[in-house]
Amino acid sequence: MNELAIFGGTPVRSKPFPGWPQPNDNLKNKIIHTFENEGWGVGSATVTRFNERFADFQDAKYCITTSSGTTAIWVALKAAGIKAGDEVIVPPYTFIATASAVLMANAVPVFVDVEVETFNLDPELIEAAITPKTKAIMPVHIAGNPARMEAILAVAKRHGLVVIEDAAQAHGAEWNGTKVGALGVGGIFSFQTSKNMSAGEGGAIVTNDEEFANACFSYHNCGRVKGGQWYEHQHLGGNFRLPAIGAAMLDAQLDTIEIDIALRDKNRNIIDNALKDVPGITPVKMPNEVTMSANHIYLSRYDSTKFNGVSREAFFKSMQAEGVYTYRGYVPLYKENLFITNADEYPWLADRDYSTLHMPVTEKLCYEESIWLKQNHLLGTEIDTQDVIDAFEKVTTEIRKNPERFQDIGK
Ligand SMILES: Cc1ncc(COP(=O)(O)O)c(C=O)c1O
């Protein structure tokens, strides 16, 4: 095998991976159709059509599109009856919005650690975090891989809690043959630019519960109610609506999403099959009930003990030099400065000290083990996918053979 690129050799790859999101003629035509014929905002037929199609696609009865995934979480929490001071259980291994939207609803995020194999909320640890103030559990389907929904729903049922899925990254993912989102009372999606479906910005809530859907409609639409007057406001809501042009872009993507899902799944399987034979690298585990992942991001773990102590950072730098950008992803959410809370700004958190939290699995993943590929790495041809595998094999083989060469890299 030739010399590693980081030491002056030829990189496995110098071409970029396919770009994302991808414009096409169908998308352009749908945007123009809406622009010219269906209105740009409130009352646009495009939004109604996309809501119906997306609900159907996610195996749900209702969809309410929103301005972002963050606003979708806020709206869903309010619609589920979360009140000031209520506690909402969330994993700390996720994007900030999962927890910050809880704060925006004047509620309290309570962190529960994740499973090392799936990177998702550990159902076994939820019960110990439940208090009389707990009202909801918000599992996240991280990287598009569904969390253990059966066990999470069972704990929620035992304690009378609602489950709101953060499916921001999980368009089209399935748990036991049913698409995620409406497995609990409802779930949210993001259409932010990097997501598997993108309108640049946008979000959605899906549900099978009519009352919850109506409440979501109200909170996302300035507190108006269905059938009410334009200037009649029953709740403290806001304008969190999706613009019609965004809905047109998303409507076009529903025409091709099955093809994208199949491609991502095929490429993920090819990489999984290759990496299972690379000592020290462990692909994320899918529980048997995951009948389809959205495969938003390819996750795996780095075990430095299998690489003579060579740091994950040295591995990342070497992979990046080969033209396959790997990186560590999230830090534990409770370590973000946001959670060094100020009692003047967040009086309902005055008795809570997030700085003392220590979640061993999340910290192990964030600080030592997690490896993220970029989301467009799963969108390539077989040759592109083979490049990902070749880079892993080339770098890990050299680290194992000559660990001393990597001592100063990434320091
Ligand atoms: C897990 C998760 N939750 C929530 C969000 C928030 O979505 P948005 O960026 O559309 O507000 C994101 C998106 O970045 C996310 O990845």
* Residue to probe by mutation, ligand 1, list 88, 190, 297, most atoms within 8 Å of CB: 190
Token match 């999230």: residue? 330
- Contact present, 149 and 143 (Cβ < 8 Å): no
Q: pLDDT tens-digit profile of 159-207?
A: 999 999 999 999 999 999 999 999 999 999 999 999 999 999 999 999 9
Q: At residue 297, what is the residue type?
A: I
* Residue to probe by mutation, ligand 1, list 68, 70, 164, most atoms within 8 Å of CB: 70
- 300 and 210 belong to one structural domain: no
- 243 and 161 belong to one structural domain: yes
| Domain of 284, in residue numbers | 257-406
Answer yes or no: is pLDDT of 307 > 80.
yes
Last residue of a domain, one of 254, 271, 289: 254
- 222 and 261 belong to one structural domain: no
Number of domains observed in the structure of the chain? 2
- 30 and 172 belong to one structural domain: yes
Question: How many other CB atoms are found less than 10 A from the CB of residue 334?
Answer: 20
* Residue to probe by mutation, ligand 1, list 66, 75, 95, 102, most atoms within 8 Å of CB: 95
Q: pLDDT tens-digit profile of 48-72?
A: 999 999 999 999 999 999 999 999 9
Last residue of a domain, one of 254, 279, 295: 254
pTM score, whole prediction: 0.98
Q: Is the CB of 17 under 6 A from ligand 1?
A: no
Q: Is the CB of 190 under 6 A from ligand 1?
A: yes
Q: Is the CB of 203 under 6 A from ligand 1?
A: yes
Q: Is residue 18 part of a domain?
A: no
CATH number, domain containing residue 159: 3.40.640.10
Q: Is residue 6 part of a domain?
A: no
**Which residue from 244, 242, 191, 236 is spatially nearest to 215, judged by alpha carbons?**
236
Tokens encoding 140: 């996240």
Interval between CA 187 and ligand 1 midpoint (Å): 12
Q: Is residue 13 part of a domain?
A: no
State residue 218 phi and psi, 5-degree precision.
-65, -50
Q: pLDDT tens-digit profile of 66-77?
A: 999 999 999 999
- Contact present, 13 and 381 (Cβ < 8 Å): no
Q: Is residue 19 part of a domain?
A: no
Answer yes or no: is pLDDT of 342 > 80.
no
Is the peptide bond prior to 11 cis by the omega test (within 30 degrees of 0)? no
Interval between CA 409 and ligand 1 midpoint (Å): 33
State residue 373 phi and psi, 5-degree precision.
-90, 170
